[in-house]
Structure 1
């Protein structure tokens, strides 16, 4: 894989200092207190959204990253509700693909490992080794046999959601810390790009999608107003990946503290730039850059923040209004009466991707993000 060009000296310092002013410009005054829903009310909406998707998709679809994100959310809801319908739908999907991975067991691509999250969920419900043999062999190859010293596979921030949790969970399942060591090596490369600056902006706690968006890179991508591009869903993938990984890892694992602190920084940063309607801008650093509502990034921020509150990582009183605004904004703006979920930016890598985003724009991974978020919120607020 081609090595990345690193910024050094004055360019590195300029990059590190360039994002905060743009974020300050996007901050809004806090909206009036928003009531928290009950857990029962949240579950009612989640069921309506899940049922609408399942009813409209009798074929459960492929096992790519996008659809796997939907099944991650559906299985989170299944664990909360015990629904046999959701379990059967997910089981049928996994069996259709023989619990396999795109690219086979030799794949190193994080997107292809995302299906392994749902397979691990199904294994936990109904343990059968065949359900996780493909994801386990693929990760085992990366850890032990196929270029085990190669750690530059995760070059974009979405990869953290797709592949961090399977490494964490297989390590727990097999009692093998080598999976956690490999996880951190891959993560550290993405975060710091071998000494950086990496995709992580330490000054703000936010992440750039990939090296094309780093400030100071010749020909780098900026918004039409000349501001940095800090993609909402890209940061949402990061929040989701950290939350899922922390749920799996033992508290004493040597890197758990860093993952925890990084999630706290991200959750705290986005709390300060949430819109008054509960959503987040598709470009977190430029409120004028395609300023309409967007569901997928907002859902992942709701998920990560709800988890952080529930785990005691952030102040409950400070962050409960954030999740209340996000949930109520999503339900009142994006959820149709029949459960169709709108305002989802479809597949892409930046704010301009798959535009325009409208009331009738949806996608499987957006529904999955919403189900993950609502399930975490329901557990937080209780019955």
Structure 2
């Protein structure tokens, strides 16, 4: 039986955030996840493949924690993932989900400077670039997921292209990523709400008479934007393109955060989705804290939202270190439970912690 640590929202929001405490709970969550890496999640009958997008999202947060931890245990664990899979991406050549693990490989290359860590990713992306998918972004067209026609794909693949561009200095990777990202945004971004539809099938649909904007999907977009901008020159036209979207989303997210500190599973439907969801909310907290740390967002305006968000997420971590209220695999607003988690929720939480730690004075 998992013991759930309950923290009342008003109390958690009032608590000051201390860097040492941020680091302490990040370690607890990271260690719990390593111990439970092969557990079954989202109703699965077998563990996620090590290169699955679910674990790819975990590694993105875990590598941020590894850089903070002062303990090679985490780097060694991550490096063993790459070595055990010969530094290959997952099985589908074009599918963004199967590119996610490339973000880990490129970060490990930065630390270890071993070219074998990035060669398979570079080779596969070169193939995609010279044999680009020509499919429509419409949801039911054949082979449609060969392109980024669902919003969470913008977290999975574009940051890999951006990192590859930054590491190699070859602009072809940036140019390809920009073309595809713009196509997806032109298709899925709602200019009235400044949020992304999960995919075309949600356009025009209503849930309790509100447009359906899935929290986790938009959380992944928001985190993806930050992970891309980290790789770009802040004076470049490409950076400014992403920054414009980021600022629009940040302003909207500030307006729709719940009083408890999380974001509703259907972002415009708080009263219909009162249950917390920690994977999307962790990524919003990550992205907003990053913006303050970069001097992009005003701390007086956005700082309280980060504090409320982080304390809400911490309030859903069990005494053992499991992050609860992570929505299972899906594509739309749904349900989450205090005693259920997912590896990508841990990744999102660790990403959030890495920026909250800096925001409150950690070095």
In the alignment, the residues of structure 1 paired with residue 133 and residue 127 of structure 2 have an alpha-carbon distance, to the nearest angstrom, of 8
The structure 1 residue matched to 2:288, chosen from 289, 295, 305, is 305
What is the aligned partner in structure 2 of residue 70 from structure 1? 58
Counterpart for residue 6 of structure 2: none
Pairing 1:100–2:80 present? no
Query: Are 1:214 and 2:209 an aligned pair?
Result: no
Deviation for aligned residue 1:101: 1.2
Q: Is 1:363 aligned to 2:327, yes or no?
A: no
1: CA distance between counterparts of 2:325 and 2:26?
Answer: 16
| Matching residue of 1:130 | 116
Q: Which residue of 1 aligns with 2:321?
A: 339
Q: Cα 1:382–1:103, aligned 2, differ >3 Å: closer, same or farther?
A: same
1:175 matches 2:163: no
In 2: Cα distance, 1:271 partner to 1:46 partner: 24
CA distance in 1, matches of 2:310, 2:117: 34
C-alpha separation in 2, matches of 1:160 and 1:254: 19
Q: Please give the alpha-carbon distance, in whole angstroms, between the structure 2 residues aligned to 1:231 and 1:81.
A: 33
In 2: Cα distance, 1:184 partner to 1:117 partner: 17
TM-score, normalised to structure 1's length?
0.84
Contact 2:279 2:348 in 1 (8 A): yes
Structure 1 counterpart SS, 2:211: coil
Tell me the residue number matched to 2:78.
90
Q: Return the offset for 1:289.
A: 2.9
Kindly state the Cα deviation for residue 109 of structure 1 after the two structures are TM-superposed.
Answer: 1.0
Q: 1:147 aligns with which of 122, 132, 144?
A: 132
- Count of aligned positions: 336
User: What SS does the corresponding residue of 1:345 show, helix, strand or coil?
Assistant: coil
- Per the alignment, in what secondary structure is the counterpart of residue 221 of structure 2? helix
Which residue of the partner structure matches residue 360 of structure 2? 381
Asked if structure 1 preserves the Cα contact closer than 8 Å seen for 2:258 and 2:270, the reply is no
Q: Distance in 1 between matches of 2:299 and 2:36?
A: 38
The verdict on how the C-alpha distance between 1:309 and 1:36 changes in structure 2, with shifts beyond 3 A counting, is: farther
Whether contact under 8 Å (2:214, 2:333) holds in the other structure is yes
Rounded to whole Å, the distance in 2 between the matches of 1:297 and 1:289 is 17
- Displacement of 1:62: 1.4
Quote how far apart the aligned CAs of 1:177 are: 1.2
Q: Within 5 Å, give how 1:1-383 maps onto structure 2.
A: 34-57=14-37, 62-103=50-91, 107-143=93-129, 145-147=130-132, 152=137, 153-192=147-186, 198-215=187-204, 221-223=205-207, 225-332=208-315, 334-352=316-334, 355=335, 357-383=336-362
Q: Which runs of 5+ in 1 are unaligned?
A: 1-29, 193-197, 216-220
Match of 1:195 in 2: none
Is the contact between residue 278 and residue 324 of structure 2 (CA under 8 Å) also seen in structure 1? yes
Counterpart-to-counterpart distance in 2, 1:122 and 1:331: 28
CA shift, 1:290, in A, is 3.0
5+ residue gaps, structure 2, are 1-9, 40-47, 138-146
Counterpart residue number, 1:218: none
Distance, in Å, in 1 between the alignment partners of 2:222 and 2:67 is: 21
- How many Å apart are 1:203 and its aligned residue? 2.1
Q: Is the 8 A contact 1:151 1:189 kept in 2?
A: no
Mapped partners of 1:138, 1:32: distance in 2: 46
Asked if the contact 2:28–2:321 (Cα under 8 Å) also holds between the matched residues in 1, the reply is yes
- 2:232–2:238 contact (8 Å) kept in structure 1: no
Query: After the TM superposition, which parts of structure 1 deviate over 4 Å for at least 4 consecutive aligned residues?
Result: 30-33, 58-61, 148-152
TM-score (norm 2): 0.88
Is contact 1:155-1:210 (8 Å) kept? yes
Alpha-carbon contact 1:34-1:321 (below 8 Å) kept: no
